[in-house]
Amino acid sequence: MLDRAMIAAVVFGCAGGVAGAPEGVESVLCRASVVGEVAIVDEVDDLLVDGDFMYALSGDVLRVYDVGDAVEPTLAGTYVLGASASRIGLSGGRLFVVGSSSIRVFDAGDPLGLVELNAIDIAYGGSLDVRFVGARVFVADEWQGLRSFDFSDVMSPVMAQVPAFNPGTGSGFVELVGGFVVYGNSYHTARVFDYSDPASLDVVGDFDLYMQPRESASDGSYLFRLGVDEQTLDEGFLVYDVTDPWSPVLVSSVLVGGTELEYFSEQGVVLSKRDHAIELIDVRDPIDPALLGSVTPGTSTRESAIVGGYLYLALGDRLEVIDMGLIGDPVLGGVATASSAVRFELLGDYAYVLDSFSNVEGLGGISVIDVSDPLDLQHRGSARFAGYALDLAVDWPYVYSANEFNGVSIVDVGDPDGVVLLSETSLVGDHLGLALDVAVLGDVAYVANRTRLVVLDVSDRGAPWVIDEIDVPALGVHVHEGVLLVSSDDDALIAYGLDDPRAPERMVSLSDFGYRFDYSVRDHPSRFVVDGDRLYVSGSYGHLLEFELDLPGSIGFVREHLTSWRSTGFALEDGLFFGVGGLEGFVYEARPDGSLAQRAAFTNREWMGDIAVRGDYAFFLGRLRGQDASGLGVVDLRTSCSVCLADLNGDGVLSYFDAAALMAGYQAGDMSVDLNGDGSIDFHDVAEFLDSYGAGCP
């Protein structure tokens, strides 16, 4: 072991100067952007920030937080309103609290001593869409229509009203467009109203954009909305110039997926939200909006606020504090295949991607993607065959595809640039033609046929033939160490010995121990991952089943994990589970009790399917950003929360103090100075420090 003098001689030789250390970057796994959490009592209906104070509305309770320290906000006051409300607004030193049947106005000069100035009852309107401007409150709903309340004279507000187009036909929306107000609902063309007279709302024309509550915002002569432009077919986040509100002009768009939009005018930032993901868009230049990055908190959130450079998300029983400067975008890009990519496997320098069918040809196929450089994926060769492909097995140089109504296809991928289709075996007649999954051992293939387990001789890949049919409703198949594992409706999980691969011999099933599962035919569990004595089987609706294998004697059901992913695609790497579903990817870590805890997530902004992990990268299938095609994408999974290993004291600069921290940690055996992550503290960590220090932490 190096002594103190040796460390000093090595370290202090490099520590004479001071070098800049850059800020950290968002890491998918350690979620460095999340810098704090605050426990809250009730689910938040609305958030509002004013200087050093934040208002959080929860039903009939209004809480005030001191956010002078943005990372550690503290509860400063609580007001019981006595009646539920859903929206709050602040204008001219007045706080407006709006519910479905009342509007209350407070003097907000002292946030810790709010004084109620007036409260008015408004007829019940159901769900509300609300906008605030000056002393005006605009309320739209499905029963009362559009109402404007002018509180210039707070004790004698003036109301103007436009009746609902068809009461009860859907939630109304209201938006401020230029100097006008736009009102409509999902069943009618929106109308433009002049609101310059507090006592009247005068219709001046129609507005042709299709909008919904909470999916739009505006700033001066610009309107922001989520959706699809009916004329250009651009989709995602759309920006319109509404200088002429009767003829809005689309001026820019950003391809994001969202169902709700929130705009923070002071920061010039728009949040596009959906289920478990939030996109941040810089709109300070509306003509050229810029995607800042994304966060995926793991649960849905509707309410948010921005305090300085920090984003607050209301997540059920807590507020999560996110450093916006550390938000990153881990998706690096991808390469398209024919379309409808559903499954893939990594082997060596290549990914073999299964396309269910091509929108143009009506065919499925195998595409070979060179993944030797994850930053520059290259499409090599491909072969097309009968569509509706569901799953694949790779036994190089052959790839086998299970095609739901078209049996099994075999492709030769030995030459990645010259992929050749060798055969298509339809499995018609008694075999019903169905193929849900396929597994291979040598010259024998096993096909899950939903009603049978079909055994194929594939010694001649150009002309496979049926050896046997086993009467078991097979949904998924997997070969592991000379054992065939079959998932089925009747027996849940069966193990067959393959001493003779052509004659699988039933060893044991889960039903032998009294366990049965009712797999839905839409939920065929075809993804198997074995880790030691544990087998994990995934179905397509968020169910991950865990079994204990002690073959040939027993199979034990351990537990069912309900996950956030909605796909059969999942992977296990270094004790972490990676799953994809919908628009997000999820990372889970096993707790000591065996249950899964979500550790992180990432978003592709469009549909995501299968996933596999290799080293610092996760490869996934999905619709690629900005392309009307699916294919193979890449996510950077590097786990370091800080890009600067040598900045050990975290002060943002490299100096003597970092060298001193290294020495102290080395002598104390502190694992925080295990800089190369090998589980021990030795000279290799000093070398890592020297390399990082000498490079100035690029």
**Where do the domains of the chain lie?**
4-22+643-694, 43-257, 346-566
Kindly report which listed range (22-26, 92-96, 145-149, 451-455) carries the lowest average pLDDT score.
22-26
Two structure tokens written together for 16: 């004479």
Q: In whole angstroms, how large is the CA radius of gyration of the chain?
A: 30
- Which residue did the predictor score with more confidence, 677 or 463? 463
What pLDDT shows up at residue 31? 46
Kindly report which listed range (285-289, 376-380, 624-628, 658-662) carries the lowest average pLDDT score.
624-628
Residue 187 DSSP SS3: coil
The architecture in CATH of the region 43-257 reads: 7 Propeller (2.130)
What pLDDT shows up at residue 523? 55
Per-residue pLDDT at 450 exceeds 80: yes
- Which residue did the predictor score with more confidence, 657 or 280? 280
Per-residue pLDDT band at 525 (split at 50, 70, 90) = low
Q: Cβ contacts of residue 6 below 8 Å, gap of 6+?
A: none
Tens-place pLDDT, residues 155-190 = 999 999 999 887 877 778 899 998 899 998 766 678
Contacts 24+ apart (CB under 8 A), 161-169: 161/201, 162/191, 162/193, 162/201, 162/203, 167/142, 167/143, 168/142, 168/143, 169/142
C-alpha dihedral (499, 502, 503, 508), degrees to nearest 10: 60
What pLDDT shows up at residue 2? 45
Kindly report which listed range (260-274, 506-520, 560-574, 646-660) carries the lowest average pLDDT score.
646-660
Per-residue pLDDT band at 519 (split at 50, 70, 90) = low
SS (H, E, C) 504-537: CEEEEEHHHHCCCCCCCHHHCCCEEEEECCEEEE
Which helix (H) or strand (E) segment holds residue 393: the answer is: strand 389-395
Q: What is the mean pLDDT of residues 554-583?
A: 81
What pLDDT shows up at residue 679? 61
Of the ranges 206-210, 366-370, 538-542, 632-636, which is most confident?
A: 366-370
Per-residue pLDDT band at 192 (split at 50, 70, 90) = very high
The domain 346-566 is classified under which CATH number: 2.40.33.20, 3.40.50.2000, 2.130.10.10, 2.20.70.10? 2.130.10.10
Q: What is the mean pLDDT of residues 118-128?
A: 85
Q: Cβ contacts of residue 595 below 8 Å, gap of 6+?
A: 559, 561
Kindly report which listed range (208-217, 403-412, 588-597, 666-675) carries the lowest average pLDDT score.
666-675
Per-residue pLDDT at 585 exceeds 70: yes
CA 396 – CA 413 distance, rounded (Å): 7
Two structure tokens written together for 285: 């230049």
Cβ atoms of 411 and 424 within 8 Å: the answer is: no
Instruction: List strands edge to edge, sheet with 527-531.
Output: 527-531, 534-538, 543-550, 554-562
Kindly report which listed range (295-309, 460-474, 596-610, 655-669) carries the lowest average pLDDT score.
596-610
Q: What is the mean pLDDT of residues 303-308?
A: 92
What pLDDT shows up at residue 660? 82
Instruction: List strands edge to edge, sheet with 34-39.
Output: 34-39, 318-323, 310-315, 304-307
What pLDDT shows up at residue 30? 45
What pLDDT shows up at residue 540? 61
Q: What percent of the chain has pLDDT over 90?
A: 42
- Tell me which residue has tokens 């958030």: 47
Q: What is the mean pLDDT of residues 403-414?
A: 92
Per-residue pLDDT at 358 exceeds 70: no
Q: What is the mean pLDDT of residues 399-422?
A: 95
Per-residue pLDDT band at 17 (split at 50, 70, 90) = very low
CA 136 – CA 176 distance, rounded (Å): 11
What pLDDT shows up at residue 28? 43
Two structure tokens written together for 160: 């103007």
CA 460 – CA 439 distance, rounded (Å): 16
Sign of CA dihedral 102, 107, 112, 116: negative
- Which residue did the predictor score with more confidence, 257 or 318? 318
Q: In this structure, how many other beta carbons lie within 10 angstroms of the beta carbon of residue 627?
A: 13
Report cis status (omega within 30 of 0) of the bond before 213: no
Residues forming beta bridges with residue 493, ordered by sequence position: 487
Q: Cβ contacts of residue 565 below 8 Å, gap of 6+?
A: 542, 579, 580, 581, 582, 584, 585, 586
Per-residue pLDDT band at 150 (split at 50, 70, 90) = very high
Residue 656 DSSP SS3: helix
Nearest alpha carbon to residue 585 among 613, 540, 620:
620
Q: What is the mean pLDDT of residues 578-589?
A: 80
Q: What is the mean pLDDT of residues 362-384?
A: 92
Tell me if 43-257 shares its fold with 346-566.
yes
CA 693 – CA 698 distance, rounded (Å): 9
Per-residue pLDDT band at 562 (split at 50, 70, 90) = confident
- Eight-class DSSP state of 324: G
- Which residue did the predictor score with more confidence, 431 or 364? 364
Q: Cβ contacts of residue 486 below 8 Å, gap of 6+?
A: 446, 448, 453, 472, 474, 476, 477, 478, 493, 494, 495, 496
- Tell me which residue has tokens 């999954």: 437
Q: What is the mean pLDDT of residues 575-602?
A: 78
Q: What is the mean pLDDT of residues 134-140?
A: 94
What pLDDT shows up at residue 520? 55
What pLDDT shows up at residue 377? 93
**Residue type, position 323, single letter:** D
Strands (E), 195-276: 202-207, 216-219, 222-228, 235-241, 249-254, 260-264, 269-274
Report cis status (omega within 30 of 0) of the bond before 552: yes
Cβ atoms of 139 and 149 within 8 Å: the answer is: yes
Per-residue pLDDT at 148 exceeds 60: yes
Kindly report which listed range (404-408, 544-548, 603-607) carries the lowest average pLDDT score.
603-607
Which CA distances in Å does 200 have to 137, 194, 196? 14, 8, 8
Tens-place pLDDT, residues 628-643 = 678 898 987 764 344 4
What pLDDT shows up at residue 639? 40
Two structure tokens written together for 241: 């110039």
Per-residue pLDDT band at 397 (split at 50, 70, 90) = very high
- Which residue did the predictor score with more confidence, 326 or 638? 326
Per-residue pLDDT at 614 exceeds 50: yes
pLDDT, mean over the chain: 84
Residue 367 DSSP SS3: strand
What pLDDT shows up at residue 522? 45
Per-residue pLDDT at 622 exceeds 90: no
What pLDDT shows up at residue 470? 93
What pLDDT shows up at residue 484? 96
What pLDDT shows up at residue 521? 43
CA 217 – CA 177 distance, rounded (Å): 9
Per-residue pLDDT at 1 exceeds 60: no
